[in-house]
Amino acid sequence: MIHAVIFDMDETLLDRQSSLRAFAAAQHRAHPDAFSEVPVAHFVERFLALDNNGALWKAEVYQQILDENRITSLEPQTLVDEYIADFHRHCHPFAGLPEMVDELLADGRQLGLITNGRYPFQWHNFQSLGVADRFGAVLVSEHEGMRKPNPEIFRRALSRLDVTAETAVFVGDNPEADMRGAQSVGMRTIYRPSPFWPECAFADAVCTDLRQLPGLVRGFEASR
């Protein structure tokens, strides 16, 4: 029996690229004078390219965009503060999230989340997906003082759900942080391909649509 399914958030449940696009377009609209010479499409594309899947923190992203466009009427920190305060208003999940959650719970699974990132920023982003109250454990790395792939953060999530690694599955899009990390404590893994990591040869299964996930978890039980 699989007792728990634990998820990564960004690019696994939360459609981060699409959510970032929506946020950046709104931020551009909020500063019509400063960005009067910068087309919205250009601003959005530079924002995503410099973000590079979260590799560069937003203070540097904004500094670069302001420098490139010789904008001096805005401070990077103003834009960072808006990002921290408002990104969650533009966060949306991949298709099928509520149905998948319903089905996993109906099958008797507990749900958990482990996300690498800032707290409470990531917590607010998860809340905005509309399913957070159905998750028994939510771990944000900054709050926990450790990050994936540290095995301890996976053990902590398992402990909070009171399940063993052998009866839990981890779902994520990052081969090292998510798949290797979860496998290092003995969990089975389901890979979510993303534009940044299109494949992972060593995951136990692949899920391209969240609505497939309950069936993939049942498949682990059938193959035991």
Q: Which residues bind Mg ion (CB under 5 A)?
A: 8, 10-11, 173
The residue number whose beta carbon is nearest to Mg ion equals 10
Which residues contact residue 9 at a Cβ distance below 8 angstroms, ignoring those fewer than 6 apart? 113, 115, 117, 122, 125, 126
For tokens 């728990």, name the residue: 4
- 205-206 vs 188-191, strand pairing mode: parallel
By C-beta, is 7 or 43 nearer to Mg ion? 7
Least CB distance from residue 116 to Mg ion, whole Å?
Answer: 8
Least CB distance from residue 81 to Mg ion, whole Å?
Answer: 24
- In whole angstroms, give the CA distance from residue 3 to residue 19: 31
Least CB distance from residue 114 to Mg ion, whole Å?
Answer: 10
By C-beta, is 51 or 65 nearer to Mg ion? 51
By C-beta, is 65 or 200 nearer to Mg ion? 200
Least CB distance from residue 94 to Mg ion, whole Å?
Answer: 12
Q: Is the dihedral of CA 137, 217, 7, 185 positive or negative?
A: positive
Structure tokens at 76: 């990077």
By C-beta, is 35 or 94 nearer to Mg ion? 94
